[in-house]
Amino acid sequence: MSKNKFKFDEEELKILRDFERGEFESIRNFQNEKKQLEKAAGNTLTKNKRINIRISSRDLTRIQKKAAKEGIPYQTLISSTLHKFIAGKLKEKV
């Protein structure tokens, strides 16, 4: 077996070990399952509501600068931050 050039984190190594031990099973009706998951993902990511908020010009300028550093539109940064917060992936600093 040739030496692997890739660096894996712990989760990836676990998946690789499980795969090599044959612990994965094929999904029955894969195409149907794939379509359902794609639809669910699309519904999750659909932005179908518009809001207006008032924030200080200083905060907006800082958000715009941070977004520019990340290479994304500032509205996307705001939306992503709000999503992470309500999903529990971003904690309020007390």
pLDDT tens readout for residues 16-62: 999 999 998 888 889 999 998 888 887 777 778 889 999 999 999 99
Looking at residue 72, what is its pLDDT?
92
pTM above 0.85, yes or no: no
> Could you give the C-alpha distances from 18 to 6, 11, 12, 23, in angstroms and in order?
17, 11, 10, 5
| CA–CA dist 89, 83 (Å, integer) | 8
pLDDT in tens, 50-94: 899 999 999 999 999 999 999 999 999 999 899 888 888 887 777
Long-range contacts of 15-19 (CB under 8 A, 24+ apart): none
Q: What is the pLDDT of residue 1?
A: 45
Which H or E element spans position 74? Answer: helix 74-86
